[in-house]
Amino acid sequence: MKGKKGLFITFEGPDGSGKSTQVRLLGAYLTEQGFDPVLTREPGGTRIGEKIRDIILDQGNAEMDALTESLLYAASRAQHVAEVIRPALDAGCAVLCDRYVDSSIAYQGCGRGLGSIVADINSLAVGGVVPDLTILIDIDPEACFDRIGKRVIREGGDRMESEDLAYHRAVYDGYLELASLHPDRVKRVDGNGGVDAVSDDVRKVVNAFLLDRLNASSGAPARDVPDDPANTRPEQTTVHAAKGERS
């Protein structure tokens, strides 16, 4: 996006991968380092977007056409970008978003079989606002499906979570293809470990990215990143803090 000053990090992964937890943990970590990051999610993130979210995920809307579903996601995203993401980035904020365009490509483009039209629709919706870094929580769809099943029994699932394993496998394959196509932006993190282990790996990826960004802005050569994520403080970058969490 022309003139963008902030930092935009998105989290992706299959339903049940634990990415929403990792968004919160990274937000807490960045706060400890001097940020007050903007946390948000898709679909949703705005008053209008949350209403669209309710329509998309409602179990009562089982007859929803795949193209309708894709357009609803894009509509929610367009409002989200206009109302939350773009203003935050223009103000120099760090934005952490639970799902973004990659989800639509994986879920509707691959899972629903809509193909490249999904990217075309979302190109219009986001108006050039693309992530600086995407964390893909990589976990086998069978393991996610088991987690989803337990959650559905405990809390009740939504329309997307209720899809069969074949659908979730197609979504996962779509994510792997995206990671292969965009290796500089999409970084895979093994999601099979415990919450803390995954969080440590996420921090290492983010710190490495921030260090590279700092070096690029100063003209310094790239340096190795220490294994201990605490040794690299994100506040060293030029990204400003923003107050308030949106979820």
Summarize the confidence of residues 122-127 as an average pLDDT. Answer: 98
Average pLDDT over residues 227-238: 35
For the stretch 23-32, pLDDT in tens is 999 999 999 9
Predicted TM-score (pTM) of this structure: 0.84
Domain 7-236 class?
alpha beta
Summarize the confidence of residues 136-149 as an average pLDDT. Answer: 87
Average pLDDT over residues 133-137: 98
**What is the structure's pLDDT at 221?**
61
What's residue 18's pLDDT?
A: 93
The pLDDT tens digits of the residues spanning 27-81 come to 999 999 888 799 999 999 999 999 999 999 999 999 999 999 999 999 999 999 9
pLDDT tens-digit series, residues 76-123: 999 999 999 999 999 999 999 999 999 999 999 999 999 999 999 999
Residue 107, pLDDT score: 97
**3-state secondary structure labels for all residues of the chain:** CCCCCCEEEEEECCCCCCHHHHHHHHHHHHHHCCCCCEEEECCCCCHHHHHHHHHHHCHHHCCCCHHHHHHHHHHHHHHHHHHHHHHHHHCCCEEEEECCHHHHHHHHHHHCCCCCHHHHHHHHHHCCCCCCEEEEEECCHHHHHHHHHHHHHHHCCCCCCCCCHHHHHHHHHHHHHHHHHCCCCEEEEECCCCHHHHHHHHHHHHHHHHHHHHHHHHCCCCCCCCCCHHHCCHHHCCCCCCCCCCC
Q: What is the pLDDT of residues 173-215, one digit of tens each?
A: 999 999 999 999 999 999 999 999 999 999 999 999 999 988 8
